[in-house]
Structure 1
């Protein structure tokens, strides 16, 4: 389970941009591969086995059988080593192996028991079609997806690890071990009233983890709670005892974003030190802080921007008669017309009847009419940030307003220029 080259991750980021999502002819949640991809870029994805939109759909009983069988093949000590290595030196995807193995070992054989929304109340299984490449991408990107919300992801995480020979499983460096112990000490030292959000903030501020963003810190805490290191007597982790999906979905209030046990844990509960010793006791803390890896060895190589023309932007504040190119996707552009500008800088905008695979030009928008909602109603919106929103560029000024057979709408909503990028689907078919 080697980490993909940064250029491959950049290609996948372009594919799995939310603006490329759609439902294909078979009703599967898919992602368009931008038409700007070169044949060399397509081949690069094929060579790494990360071709987008490779789907699986397994039944409930098959998933549970696969999960239990895969977990039985995983030794928890190498999985714990990989977990600690993911703190710094190893690919983030290795974090998922230990909690996935714990889930598979704890999971009982059971009949599917759907609850509201179609998920099984025992295991969270839902009969979704899964894009295996997207699942792998998010494991590498966030270290998430070990089966906590869909057991299929646990199977995929375990199978990816099992496919690697034992010699390829990461061993934590002294620095990784030191960082992991620092994380545990940080949690031990929190005020007794501290809850999940305070723990995440403290971990983020400490800057101990590689890719130390808040979501990454939250994922580490959720994994520690999932296996049982952060738990409460009423809400145990899975190495203490199995808890059903519906039990793990219980939270103190609707404002709590994480599941049990972490949703209920506070620092007064401390850590389950016996479990820490069982899983990680063989990893002795270095007596002194190991030297961090040099910046040169950890810096990510910058990747080139996707090929393609960029609009020639006319700088300055919004003005009536301006036309703005709007980037809907990497390979799809539209345009909107500014009728007037208020004193607060918001422009009254209306889509033009244009879709283009390349940025539109001033000549291209001349003489184009407006594009109404798909139901035939005229639509406009007040937009702020027209002069500073990525993907929104002024390409023409002093353009006469096209004629329209309907009056100006009586009610005009307010928003930002960024909203034009996702509201266009109400006016344009793409």
Structure 2
């Protein structure tokens, strides 16, 4: 099974609607959609990327393996792999450089709990929590380097690179892409924060993906390395910055770690780090208006090919009792949670352009009919729950079953405050009321 086919299958599996908590193992796992043929799943397992195969990192063993595997790379080899991972090779190869630079600077130490997170090391950030190996591979292949430089994530990435065999060398277009990224950063107005830089990079379409957050991930990687850092919060190629310090942020609204959390365009690019990591390439600015022909073409890159694939359009049944017209009080809708799982909601009233709805009892394997509706409200664990949902007449996974139904039987009055939601989020919100989902 080729790489794109594996990623496409994992993309279908790793959907929120398939996620569930397995009481026996104490792990979050994923159900396999019925649309995936057993022989394809067997081929995925044979390729070493079957879902729900968990890896529990151990701090000491992870750091030992990180040191051993990264020692097989020179800094130049890792930097070349990083450059290739910008376009011609999968994003996974960017992790060769983060792993190498992390291993070069990380000091010998024992696991020190980080605050209330006993499974996270305050020094290196190693997370001693089970992860799905195939999911980690999927994220590295489609998004970039491990989150927050996690040592265990870098170890898993190095394992995957070894399995892939020969290491990629950057082509001219990879180098141009890197120079173009730097050119965009250098051209930003003063004091531009990382989100503005991310948006500017995304508009230039410099990476083989349409996902904006991947450009943000690249900025986090450049910051982790030290290309976008500050004097108080240096990147790893400058000096080792412990995890507890990287977790410091200007305010609670900032999601990214330091150094990027404190960086802006007025600080600029750390030219010394560029020279240290990439001394053999020309890093002068390029003219974005004179972009060379991408090589390989976008459609032949892994992410470009993957994003072109589309699942067959789902067709949802229609109820003969659904009637016509917009939502109104007394309507009952069925919500498709995932393939073979439906629940129902009752519309109490319309407020503006939103329907005040509440889940009803009953979980169905097929689209329910009017005669199957159970007019009994389904509460959350902490009591009755309603939401003001928008777009329930427009979302394909929410279908009206019947009209003019009696109000459901309830055990308590409505809560004083109601949440706001969209029709597409109802399948996720259902988990609060239906623990068995």
| TM-score normalised by structure 2 residue count | 0.86
Tell me how far apart the structure 1 counterparts of residues 382 and 249 of structure 2 sit (CA, whole Å): 45
1:332 aligns with 2:355: no
Give runs of aligned pairs for residues 34-113 of structure 1, distance below 5 A.
Answer: 34-113=33-112
Q: Deviations over 1:338-385 (max 9, x none)?
A: 24434x2433423232212333344543xx332432659555444332
Unmatched 5+ stretches in structure 2: none
Which residue number in structure 2 is paired with residue 320 of structure 1?
329
Tell me how far apart the structure 2 counterparts of residues 377 and 9 of structure 1 sit (CA, whole Å): 40
Tell me how far apart the structure 2 counterparts of residues 225 and 144 of structure 1 sit (CA, whole Å): 12
Aligned residues: 420
Tell me if structure 2 keeps the 8 A contact 1:337–1:351: yes
Which residue number in structure 2 is paired with residue 160 of structure 1?
160
Q: Deviations over 1:138-159 (max 9, x none)?
A: 11121131661x3211111112
SS state at 1:81 partner: helix
Residue of structure 1 aligned with 2:403, choices 397, 400, 413: 397
Which residue number in structure 2 is paired with residue 125 of structure 1?
126
Tell me if structure 1 keeps the 8 A contact 2:223–2:235: yes
Which residue number in structure 2 is paired with residue 291 of structure 1?
293
CA 1:144–1:371 in 2, change beyond 3 Å: closer, same or farther? Answer: farther
CA 1:304–1:231 in 2, change beyond 3 Å: closer, same or farther? Answer: closer
Tell me if structure 1 keeps the 8 A contact 2:377–2:408: no
SS state at 1:335 partner: strand
CA 1:41–1:370 in 2, change beyond 3 Å: closer, same or farther? Answer: farther
Q: CA RMSD in A?
A: 2.8
Which residue number in structure 2 is paired with residue 199 of structure 1?
197
Structure 1 residue runs of 4 or more that deviate by more than 6 Å after TM superposition: 285-288
Residue of structure 1 aligned with 2:426, choices 400, 417, 420: 420
SS state at 1:66 partner: helix
Tell me how far apart the structure 2 counterparts of residues 402 and 212 of structure 1 sit (CA, whole Å): 45
CA 1:362–1:283 in 2, change beyond 3 Å: closer, same or farther? Answer: farther
Tell me if structure 1 keeps the 8 A contact 2:316–2:397: no
Give runs of aligned pairs for residues 235-246 of structure 1, distance below 5 A.
Answer: 235-246=233-244
Q: Deviations over 1:246-285 (max 9, x none)?
A: 1211222222222122222233333232332332232347
1:61 Cα deviation after fit = 1.1
**406-415 or 85-94, which moves further after superposition?**
406-415
CA 1:3–1:227 in 2, change beyond 3 Å: closer, same or farther? Answer: farther
Tell me if structure 2 keeps the 8 A contact 1:99–1:146: no
Which residue number in structure 2 is paired with residue 21 of structure 1?
19
1:120 Cα deviation after fit = 1.4
CA 1:237–1:318 in 2, change beyond 3 Å: closer, same or farther? Answer: same
SS state at 2:342 partner: strand
Give runs of aligned pairs for residues 330-369 of structure 1, distance below 5 A.
Answer: 330-342=339-351, 344-365=352-373, 368-369=374-375
1:122 Cα deviation after fit = 0.4
Tell me if structure 2 keeps the 8 A contact 1:103–1:147: no
Tell me if structure 2 keeps the 8 A contact 1:55–1:132: yes
SS state at 2:29 partner: strand
Tell me if structure 1 keeps the 8 A contact 2:389–2:420: yes
Tell me how far apart the structure 2 counterparts of residues 409 and 265 of structure 1 sit (CA, whole Å): 47
Which residue number in structure 2 is paired with residue 145 of structure 1?
146
Unmatched 5+ stretches in structure 1: none
Q: Deviations over 1:293-317 (max 9, x none)?
A: 55654653424338x8622275641
SS state at 2:357 partner: strand
Which residue number in structure 2 is paired with residue 251 of structure 1?
249
Which residue number in structure 1 is paired with residue 378 of structure 2?
372
1:418 Cα deviation after fit = 3.8
| TM-score normalised by structure 1 residue count | 0.87
